Structure 1
Amino acid sequence: MEYREYVRHDALGLARLVAERQVTAAELLDTARQRMAQVNPSLNAVIRRMDSQADAFAQAHAKRTDENGGAFAGVPFLLKDLFQDYAGVESSYGNAALKQAGFKPEAHAEITRRFIASGVNIFGKTNTPEFGAKGVTEPEAFGVTRNPWNTEHTPGGSSGGSAAAIAAGIVPMAGANDGGGSIRIPAACCGLFGLKPGRARVPGGPERSDMMHGASVDHVITRSVRDSAAMLDAVAGYEHGAIARLATPDTSYLEGMSTPPNGLRIGVLDESPLGIALHAEAHAAIKTTTKLLESLGHRVERAAPAIDGLQLGRDFLSMWFVQMTLAVDDIRARTGAKADAFEMDTRAMAHVGRAFSAQEYMQAFGRWQGYRHALADFHAEYDLLLTPTLANPPSRIGESATPKWQLMALRPLLHLPSGRALIRSGIVEQIARENLRHVPFTQLANLTGVPAMSVPLHMTDNGLPLGSQFVGGPGSELLLLQLGAQLEQAAPWFDRLPVLG
């Protein structure tokens, strides 16, 4: 299959070609591999190949006589190299210790099982920052991933490798997950659609069910809204041992998204909750989105939930630092790795995480309930909250890296017995503020457990994408998909692709 034909189709479109025997799974795989060979050297989006697994799948698919191979039967697909474990295939999570140890999980993650059941042909894994802890994808263990729209800029993170691979035309969709914006941020950076499902909508087990108190959720990044809907149909649903069993829609997400929403009332937050000025392009993105919404008959007005955004950011980072402690300690126990097998920022976060008392951690976690109540009060009046996905256009490669002087100052502090010294030094809070400065809007949906999406409606003056975020109430995945499909029809983005080799 020629690439120019391949890239004209979304995943459902490719699956239909396979079902109609116009193309084989092996031919699609060959095209995806050729495109990967062409663009990946300059992007570093795919960091691990799975040739034997993909070839075996394509061969088995050629022998199938039934047509019940899943909605995406035969479509090339990439996993994110973070928690989307594939049995017997190395998982590194962006970490040098796991990479050096050649860690291979013994079992599939449940999300991987469901991806496989959807019919996709998994042929590789995508790059991610160490433990998904940053909004850029620049891990020391695997190197920098670059944005196909401009390789001097980031594709975002932590699902930056997946987003770059999709935007570059290697695959029409890829695995992603989101614990603080990691689906929506790279979707916004790369001109793609990114839906973060709500808490417990998609499985996270068997090892990580309800990870980060449900703040972290798996799904995909896509070029089309309907691919996201169809994959949600494939992967959503109760898993054994999950904390909740959510009601399912009366119709499938794919079928239901074809009904456009009418007369939504949408509140707009166009100021950073951290009190830092937004880039002019972020305001322009909201203006573009607002005009489009109003042209479709929706009511848009400035309004926001009554939440202390700075405190929410602190509480998010408290949880994140403790998670880093758990990750570092677990991997050191598994591999025998020394401290220098982890990036300095990771070590600093883990060191601070150890300094939190159980009481302090639970006080921070307890405030999540207040954020949920405030957002529920907002949604009692407004159907959706609209914000910029990012506070500024995709940053330049290395712009978010911790300055060398800070790394030098951190090193001696990490040898102190308590992270309290780090907290008192102010360095960690400065690092945290710097990281959240670019992405102050996405954590709200994670801590409150509600669905949210980034929609690619704006291009900056220098040709970079910049998405707009919509935050829904509990169980609003279908409403978000309906609006996403309506916006996609009104302002199509599917054929808007970067120019690469």
Structure 2
Amino acid sequence: MHDIHTLIDQSDATTLAELVKGGDLQASELLEATIQRLERVEPQLNAVAEKLYDQARQQQPAVGPFSGVPTLVKDLFAPLAEARMTNGSLALGEARPGMDDEMVSRLRRAGCVFVGTSTSPEFGTSYSTESTRFGATRNPWNLVHSAGGSSGGAAALVAARAVPFAHGNDGGGSLRVPASCCGVFGLKPSRGLMPNGPLAGEGWGGMGVAHAITLSVRDSAALLDATAGADLGAPYAAPARPSSYVEAMQRSLRPLKIALVEHLEPWPSSAEALAAIRHSATLCEQLGHQVTPATLPVDLPRFLDQAFDIIGPNTRNYLDLLGQMRGAPVSETELEPRTRIYLREKGDIGAVQYVQAIEGIHALGRTFANFMRDYDLILTPALTREPPRIGTLDVTDDRADLATLIECFHSYSPFTALFNATGQPAMSVPLYWTNGGLPIGAHFAGRFGDETTLLTLAHQLETLQPWAQRRPPVNACAT
């Protein structure tokens, strides 16, 4: 008789699903064990927005690549039929859309069982998952530190081994930042590769994309196999993808030329971030790849100003729509200071300024495409320093200006949002832990539409320096 928790400790989602489909493990047994694991860590992490245990017990898992595997959906612009959707905000009350978005539908058809929703900061606009509605989500490696954001709940639960993967989305680093903070794998796919509908058209001018945070690279690739592809009527479509990412990532990889970027003006990387990135570069060289110092062709302050020219009006439009749906306008008192600042400074810009911002990010995409003619991948720190303490990135005074917010967030994560704007795939790979025991991810970006090279390199790195055996102090493991 197997010990279910030891089995989960040693398995990724792909293995667990194979055991369920083969009859060696009952989906109900896996579900009850996962509920126990969530209950073991949740009081310390505060990573679950809503528990859906009873609803999960009533689900009949579909037969698919993840048959019977329990997971969570991020509580941010991803409606799940059995759950409320708060987007981390008090403004939505107990609203329940009563429907699945397309990404959730594909996960359901792949056999996933939804045991809850995971926490997010209000509207996903922070690199730390802290909200008035839910409080702070904590890092399982050190509870006084942030789990990152905005998919912080997902990352914390995967790192703590409560679930092998969890859904998330990424409009400026929201998969990769928490993956870096929590020492797990986070891939942001190319623009247009994943479904956004039916509620969202393009999500922050095409910068937003959904996927997942995983423990294994194989699970990330298998999730792409199960969910990738533009949905009906999507405004963007990525280039043709392989018949199987799982198969493609296992093939041999020619020596790559990798651009190493250690700093991005005006914000320097800390000594620990540099140590992390240089360690990662050394691992790549051990695998036979060429790593060359480079400078990115971007004016970062100008880019960030344009990015918020897109985020501000989109936030205003969403709140106006929410007011119409509930029959009462959203009051500023229902919103957090950070959101009020965005709305005050960028919520009502003119149409021409908005169009200029859209054109600006697409021009940046062409600039980076030309840059990538000389390189296969770009390697940067995921973050300029270790995960911050809780409260460091939590803005509590709406008298601050947007420049102060940009300094606060993007001096910490200057690299990730660039690749949302350019549409390129990017990933955070857990390869380095500080002397204090906190992870700092290595951030790689590839050519538009080339997830395969990223996943193949990640698989090489995972084989060379496995990370799954590194468990944080707060974990759900049997021993």
Q: TM-score, normalized by length of structure 2?
A: 0.95
Contact map agreement 1:47 1:127 (CA 8 A) in 2: yes
Deviation at 1:184, TM superposition (A): 0.4
Question: Equivalent residue for 2:425?
Answer: 451
Query: Which of the residues 351, 356, 359 maps onto 1:363?
Result: 356
Deviation at 1:247, TM superposition (A): 4.1
Query: Which of the residues 179, 183, 189 maps onto 1:191?
Result: 183
Instruction: State percent identity of aligned pairs.
Output: 38
Where 2:284 maps in the other structure, the secondary structure is helix
Deviation at 1:309, TM superposition (A): 1.7
Is 1:498 paired with 2:475?
no
Is 1:341 paired with 2:343?
no
Query: Which of the residues 198, 206, 215 maps onto 1:206?
Result: 198
Is 1:472 paired with 2:464?
no
Is 1:482 paired with 2:456?
yes
Equivalent residue runs for 1:55-74 within 5 Å? 55-57=57-59, 60-61=60-61, 69-74=63-68
Where 2:43 maps in the other structure, the secondary structure is helix
Contact map agreement 1:332 1:338 (CA 8 A) in 2: no
Contact map agreement 1:323 1:353 (CA 8 A) in 2: no
> For this pair of structures, how many residues does the alignment match?
471
Structure 1, unpaired ranges of 5+: 62-67, 411-426
Structure 2, unpaired ranges of 5+: none
Question: Equivalent residue for 2:102?
Answer: 110
Question: Equivalent residue for 2:236?
Answer: 244
Query: Aligned equivalents of 1:354 and 1:195: distance in 2?
Result: 30
Question: Equivalent residue for 2:377?
Answer: 384
1:414-473 CA deviation, whole Å, 9 max, x = no partner? Answer: xxxxxxxxxxxxx22112221111110001110011111111111011000100111111
Where 2:72 maps in the other structure, the secondary structure is strand
Question: Equivalent residue for 1:89?
Answer: 83
Question: Equivalent residue for 1:304?
Answer: 295
Is 1:166 paired with 2:140?
no
Query: Aligned equivalents of 1:249 and 1:331: distance in 2?
Result: 36
Where 2:347 maps in the other structure, the secondary structure is helix
Contact map agreement 1:304 1:378 (CA 8 A) in 2: no
Is 1:373 paired with 2:366?
yes
Query: Which of the residues 20, 23, 27 maps onto 2:22?
Result: 20
Contact map agreement 2:89 2:122 (CA 8 A) in 1: yes
1:111-170 CA deviation, whole Å, 9 max, x = no partner? Answer: 000010111111100000000010000010111100000000001000000000111111
Deviation at 1:363, TM superposition (A): 1.5
Q: CA RMSD in A?
A: 1.5
Where 1:465 maps in the other structure, the secondary structure is coil
Question: Equivalent residue for 1:119?
Answer: 111
Where 1:33 maps in the other structure, the secondary structure is helix
Query: Aligned equivalents of 1:432 and 1:283: distance in 2?
Result: 22
Equivalent residue runs for 1:423-462 within 5 Å? 427-462=401-436
Contact map agreement 2:4 2:30 (CA 8 A) in 1: no
Where 2:430 maps in the other structure, the secondary structure is strand
Question: Equivalent residue for 1:224?
Answer: 216
Is 1:47 paired with 2:21?
no
Contact map agreement 1:203 1:209 (CA 8 A) in 2: no
Query: Which of the residues 324, 328, 344 maps onto 1:351?
Result: 344
Query: Aligned equivalents of 2:465 and 2:96: distance in 1?
Result: 43
Is 1:279 paired with 2:270?
yes
Query: Which of the residues 29, 32, 35 maps onto 2:34?
Result: 32
Deviation at 1:20, TM superposition (A): 2.2
Equivalent residue runs for 1:129-148 within 5 Å? 129-148=121-140
Deviation at 1:12, TM superposition (A): 0.4
Question: Equivalent residue for 1:420?
Answer: none
Q: What amino acid sits opposite 2:366 in the alignment?
A: H
Query: Aligned equivalents of 1:330 and 1:27: distance in 2?
Result: 42
Equivalent residue runs for 1:318-337 within 5 Å? 318-335=309-326, 336=328, 337=330
Query: Aligned equivalents of 2:202 and 2:151: distance in 1?
Result: 19
Question: Equivalent residue for 2:280?
Answer: 289
Query: Aligned equivalents of 1:355 and 1:200: distance in 2?
Result: 27
Query: Aligned equivalents of 1:323 and 1:116: distance in 2?
Result: 29
Where 1:457 maps in the other structure, the secondary structure is coil
Query: Aligned equivalents of 1:368 and 1:431: distance in 2?
Result: 20
Contact map agreement 1:163 1:221 (CA 8 A) in 2: yes
Q: What amino acid sits opposite 2:77 in the alignment?
A: F
Query: Aligned equivalents of 2:244 and 2:287: distance in 1?
Result: 24
Where 2:168 maps in the other structure, the secondary structure is strand
Q: What amino acid sits opposite 1:367 in the alignment?
A: G
Contact map agreement 1:260 1:485 (CA 8 A) in 2: no
